[in-house]
Structure 1
Amino acid sequence: MQNYKTNCFNSDNYSIKCGDKSINFEKPIVMGILNLTPDSFYDGGSYLDKTSILKRSEQIISEGAKIIDLGAYSTRPGAAIVTEREELERMLPALEFICKEFPSAILSIDTFRSEVARKVVAEFGPCIINDISGGTMDDNMFALIGELKIPYIMMHIQGQPQTMQQNPVYVDLMKEVLSFFRSRIKKLNDLGATDIILDPGFGFGKTLDHNYEILSKLQDFNAFQLPILAGISRKSMIYKFLGGDPSSSLNGTTALHMAALQKGAAVLRTHDVKEAFECVQLYSKIKSFKE
């Protein structure tokens, strides 16, 4: 790992602005998942009407999450392709409900399409854009982020969601993922965007061992001095190793959340906000005696 130092992200002095709202990273934060899709791998089809969307949003906020992450296009391995129109038809009504009921909520839009991002911001104001492709699936995304000056979650992926888990191969996993971030961060910075969160992309073009190698070396990403997001919640890296399925993977999720926090994660993206928030509270209590 030449030219990289570990543990150099100073969370005490880092914050991001999202319109008139801000997020500081004095301690790690939780992002609650709200899937607006019928086919997401864990809770697909659970939040498709106004009542369930608002109930889930209230739960996410009340259980301690700083951010609600809305996704209208399932990107699980082998997921069906969704048109831009379908994505917007799912996303825009949900945003209208949430923004009216919870106007102070910080929202993240899980999309790799620049036009979806543009329309959301035009209609509902600044939000975070959570892009599973790191700008590789829409050539206009980076220019848009630079133009709008909105926060951006840059995820690493190898391949496309429909095929990414068909024998992913790396010559040097960490070197390649770090190189991806180095070049993509520079490109985004050159366009005027600086509020960036990094997501190494657990389960996105990675084998089981790739996922655990990244988790074991998560601190290496602190070299970029940007917050790291861990998207581990109920993923196959847990139940394919321990057995079971997504519904039985909460305990494994919590265990890996603590490991991610110890390795420098600043954001836990999760289906189970209460448990993740408690994990952050316990981690922060332990860490308070290490200074």
Structure 2
Amino acid sequence: MRILAELLDDAAVFPPGNASIEEAVAGHVRHLRSVHACLVGPLVLAAKDLGELEVVLGDRPGHSVNLTLTVPLPGLVPATAVARAIRSVRLVGLEVALPDGTSAAEALAALDAADLDSDLTTYVEVPRDARRADVLAALAGTRYRAKLRTGGVRADLYPDETELAAAIRSAVALDVPFKATAGLHHAVRNTDPATGFEQHGFLNVLVATARARNGADEAEVVELLAERDGGRLVEQVRVLDPSVRDAFCSFGTCSVDEPITELVDLGLLDPRYMKDLA
């Protein structure tokens, strides 16, 4: 489905996947050579891993990767230069974390001062604190996008439906494209049986974003994020305008295989997409 194209950013090294750099590169190359390559976005790595990435790629001649780099705002310029210098790497994106206390105005000034190349898709992680509204408003009308945190390794890192709905509706109202990071381990809203964490579904986010773009109020967006019936979500995904992806760009997943398997099981992808899964 065109609406799922490049939806899955390959974040295999991040929890709970915790793949080594070598494993992540090998897995990413496998995905890019597979029948499901059209669903896969860039490899996502932290700036601290660039040295190891260079070593691993040096042992794999002929392989190249599109890379999105997660980096704290103060280290943005040097990390970008290091990534650009690695052979077999095409730096396509940045995901920038703001230090505690950094205001929206300070963040935007630092990004502008970094004079980033126009070919870099740059996301700014929106803090889950009082700065959220200001940061989203500051991103409006710029070339920078938003990164919304949707989970993590602790229960408190998961925003509830009301918080996430407010962030999505704000981003949509301001015409700020966004990606999601962490916690979207399944297609449909669920309770993780191992941890008890309430986890958002990536199809829920997709449908909720589409409805927000059509003017849905907060209560409706909250209800869609809470929906646990996969069949109902699938019905809505099938009729979505693909332009919703202009708003919800992608999400980081520590496993590309698992979301594809779930999408096949839900009937949104042909079983052939599972041909090259590990």
TM bracket (short chain): 0.5 to 0.7
1:215 is matched by which residue type in structure 2? A
Alignment-derived partner of residue 283 in structure 1:
212
2:137 is matched by which residue type in structure 1? Q
For 2:41, which of 107, 118, 129 is the aligned residue? 107
* Distance in structure 1 (CA, Å) of the matches to 2:203 and 2:62: 31
Q: Note the C-alpha offset of 1:229.
A: 2.4
Q: Per-residue CA shift, 1:183-233, capped at 9, x if unaligned?
A: 12x1x33xxxx2233333235xxxx5xx3323344132234x314122221
Normalised to the residue count of structure 2, the TM-score between the two structures is 0.53
Alignment-derived partner of residue 136 in structure 2:
218
Q: Note the C-alpha offset of 1:269.
A: 1.5
For 1:269, which of 175, 180, 184 is the aligned residue? 180
Quickly say closer, same or farther: Cα 1:122–1:232, change in 2 above 3 A. farther
Alignment-derived partner of residue 119 in structure 2:
195
For 1:233, which of 150, 153, 156 is the aligned residue? 150
* Distance in structure 1 (CA, Å) of the matches to 2:122 and 2:96: 6
Equivalent residues, number: 190
1:95 is matched by which residue type in structure 2? H
Q: Which runs of 5+ in 2 are unaligned?
A: 185-200, 217-240, 242-278
The reply on whether 1:71 has 2:11 as its aligned counterpart is: yes
Q: Per-residue CA shift, 1:150-205, capped at 9, x if unaligned?
A: 422241332xxxxxxxxx334xx122111221112x1x33xxxx2233333235xx
Q: Per-residue CA shift, 1:245-282, capped at 9, x if unaligned?
A: 45683554244222222233212325232012112321
Structure 1 vs Structure 2 CA RMSD: 4.0
CA contact (8 A) 1:110 1:131 kept: yes
Q: Secondary structure at the match of 2:131?
A: helix
* Distance in structure 1 (CA, Å) of the matches to 2:27 and 2:161: 27
1:155 is matched by which residue type in structure 2? V
* Distance in structure 1 (CA, Å) of the matches to 2:107 and 2:135: 12
For 1:90, which of 10, 23, 31 is the aligned residue? 23
Q: Which runs of structure 2 are paired with 1:34-73 in the superposition (5 Å)?
A: 64=4, 66-73=6-13
Alignment-derived partner of residue 257 in structure 1:
168
Quickly say closer, same or farther: Cα 1:150–1:132, change in 2 above 3 A. closer
Quickly say closer, same or farther: Cα 1:122–1:131, change in 2 above 3 A. farther
Alignment-derived partner of residue 152 in structure 1:
93
Q: Secondary structure at the match of 1:104?
A: helix
2:126 is matched by which residue type in structure 1? F
For 1:179, which of 87, 109, 113 is the aligned residue? 109
2:213 is matched by which residue type in structure 1? S
* Distance in structure 2 (CA, Å) of the matches to 1:122 and 1:228: 33
Q: Which runs of 5+ in 1 are unaligned?
A: 1-60, 77-81, 159-167
* The 10-residue stretch of structure 1 (254-263 or 272-281) with the greater mean CA deviation from structure 2: 254-263
* Distance in structure 1 (CA, Å) of the matches to 2:83 and 2:3: 33
2:133 is matched by which residue type in structure 1? L
Q: Note the C-alpha offset of 1:131.
A: 2.1
* Distance in structure 2 (CA, Å) of the matches to 1:265 and 1:69: 19
Quickly say closer, same or farther: Cα 1:174–1:135, change in 2 above 3 A. closer
2:113 is matched by which residue type in structure 1? S
Q: Secondary structure at the match of 1:200?
A: strand
The reply on whether 1:130 has 2:62 as its aligned counterpart is: no
